[in-house]
Structure 1
Amino acid sequence: MNLSALDHIVKNNPELIDENVPAKADSAATLGVAKLVLGNGGNVDALTDKQRFHFDTYILPLIENVECDGVFGPDMENGEDGCVGSGRIDDEDLEGCYIMDEMLCQECQHVNHKMQED
């Protein structure tokens, strides 16, 4: 779990959590769970079952095993994701991706920067 990425989301872009919560669920509660997890240093053992559901379902996908958007974007016709790398953003790069608002793995970042240089 990437606590620095979660901290960035909570402080700078809580809308990401709102967007990840379906309309029928309580996004304010989910944001509260995110803050609680941060306050507990990432310890999720103290969460109630309902809180754990919010964490596992709506928060964890934003901070663990996050998919790369792909430098070329998805190709729906061929079913390809557009990623030239692993398809996942490395944990150490995740917070930077949120800061730059560019959800790309290292390989796609490299290709993107090369394309911008040309």
Structure 2
Amino acid sequence: MVDRKKDMIISGGENIYCAELENAVAAHPSVREVAVIGRSDERWGQVPVAYVTLVPGAELSLRELTEFLVGRLASFKWPKDLVLVAELPRNAGGKVLKPLLRTRDAEGAGVSER
């Protein structure tokens, strides 16, 4: 239950469900896979961060992704950071290891577009 509870981000008192944001980001034609986590933020409590793998040869910036999400999601739900990764960490069953992403994020690992 603890992992599922962390799949909801509370940002400025608003609930952001990771699955909703992941579905919206995944609809972008450059995105192969996405996982969304919450990052601690002094002002908002938490902000959403999208970890994304791209389709071969594609490029994507946070600005392009944000423009894509206009009209699809409320602006407070948009990712505040985009981290491009070669692959998402998975367990033997194929499930994305979000706790590992949270640890890496807290340590500042990964290529980020802050």
The TM-score with structure 1 as length reference comes to: 0.31
The TM-score with structure 2 as length reference comes to: 0.32
Structure with more of its chain in helix, by fraction: 1
Query: Which structure: larger Rg?
Result: 1
Structure with more of its chain in strand, by fraction: 2
